[in-house]
Chains A and B, each alone.
Chain A
């Protein structure tokens, strides 16, 4: 009942672990793949080891978390060892970040070689200078990166977009024109938290990205806008912590969804809970499959 597909990639369960959450090591990916998730997206991996920003990199705020991890990762070469453990356990989506079409292509080819089921292009991280959202808010740049990666690999190429834009339709069109296989939306919303007592931003990077329940309605709206603009399969992400949240994304147009922050707040059991509750909802309301629900809010 919960089987779904994102383009050509078939998933036994519609929920995935979002990039950046319990997905930096082979062992943790393996654990998450056994938790009821249909796939795990890796931490975003770049060409070289990166320490990320210094702490404080994370804090709780009302309605969610703000983080500015700054893309910490061991680099694509060392990540081979983690993928060797993880990829044989299920669908691992390799998230990658770079600063040019060539860099993205090289990283994607490595991920394909390591056994990734798809790659997810991080064109949306709001807190890393020269990467992520800085590239991902220009349709032409998005198009050239997607197109380069498409010609470098045979596995599906997903593009993760940012909500920090007024031209989400244009960005989605750029992905579609470049024959991208799916759009993942949203990444975190650019945000800041200031300490009244110290009179300073708390995160070392000053600003970061907001996630959790506070961004869910922004995410649902963004997915709705993307569905209205293009026919590319969509993966919904942003503030999902229960079946109601997941169904909203599916009805807005997503074929599958990802969960990040709720793994912290609800625990690793969040996938099993949602799977069970989702099935009950579908039975009660007469939906025979996930695809029956995709985009119904547009009808």
Chain B
């Protein structure tokens, strides 16, 4: 359940994102996450970007905790606990499309590897694109950049709509910024495609106990982080509201 692992590989994914690899025999599913800590940082949840015997987390530098993880080198220890949560259900679909936006691309890569499904990776610009090595796992990897510096000029949701119009997808799997997921969810409703989305909230216990990461009455850490279209349709907070460390409602 909890373990201290050593970093055995570091991959520079982009100018601000690194993948840290480690050996961990615990069984994990695509879409599950772990809590990660080393002294000098706050413990944070991280999706697994590899879920085989060699596992990994992919860390975008956005603050002092992720900066601390970026400072680690080969052989350095890291305390992890998990894996937690409900991953993607990969059996429910005959033809799926996987969408990863920004750092969220890391969380969907294990699902791409396992299914070989068509995949969209979106980011602001070419230099922010990560996980484009996914073309090893799928015949169709499409890139979208907001500024058009690579691939489709526009966001991942626009590209998904375009691809969905001539291919009959029955399921979208996605992880990314909530604003992207919000529009993607609406697109799925509009096009009548089922979906599963990995969501995020401020997290403390990670194990379904403290209840601080709830969206409406659903715990992201235990009932999620991957939620079905049906579950998301019941969420009033989705895209609208999150909770800060005190449990205060904050408009998104």
User: Chain A interface (Cβ within 8 Å of chain B)?
Assistant: 20-25, 27-28, 30-31, 43, 49-52, 54-60, 65, 67, 69, 72-75, 78, 81, 195-198, 200, 202, 204, 260-261, 263-264, 267
Contacts and interface: CB of A to CB of B under 8 A. Distances in A.
Given A55-B44, A58-B204, A204-B42, A49 B211 contact: no
B246 A197 contact: no
A43 B42 contact: no
B37 A22 contact: no
A75 B248 CA distance: 9
B63 interface: no
Contact of B209 (A55, A196, A200, A261): A261
B62 interface: no
B211 A52 contact: no
A22 B210 CA distance: 6
A74 B217 CA distance: 17
A96 B249 CA distance: 20
Interface residues of B, number: 34
Contacts of B44: 55
Given A72-B245, A198-B79, A263 B209 contact: yes
Contacts of B244: 51
Contacts of B37: 55-56, 202
Contact of A198 (B39, B81, B211, B216): B39
Given A58-B204, A58-B206, A60-B207, A27 B42 contact: no
Given A21-B210, A28-B217, 10 more contacts: A25-B211, A52-B204, A52-B245, A54-B42, A57-B204, A60-B81, A73-B246, A81-B249, A198-B77, A198-B79
Interface in B31-53: 35, 37-39, 42-44
Interface of B: 1-2, 4, 35, 37-39, 42-44, 77, 79, 81, 204-212, 214, 216-217, 219, 222, 243-249
Between A22, A30, A49, the greatest number of chain B beta carbons within 10 A of the residue's beta carbon is seen for: A22
Given A55-B44, A56-B43, A264 B243 contact: no
23 contacts: A21-B210, A21-B211, A22-B214, A25-B214, A25-B243, A27-B217, A30-B217, A55-B44, A57-B210, A58-B205, A58-B206, A67-B209, A72-B212, A72-B247, A73-B247, A74-B247, A74-B248, A197-B79, A198-B38, A198-B79, A200-B39, A204-B42, A261-B209
Contacts of A74: 246-248
B214 A28 contact: yes
Contact of B214 (A27, A49, A69): A27
B115 to A, nearest CB: 28
B211 A195 contact: no
A49 B216 contact: no
Question: Which of B43, B44, B79, B210 has the most CB atoms of chain A within a 10 A radius of its CB?
Answer: B210
B247 A43 contact: yes
Contacts of B2: 59-60
Contacts of A31: 217
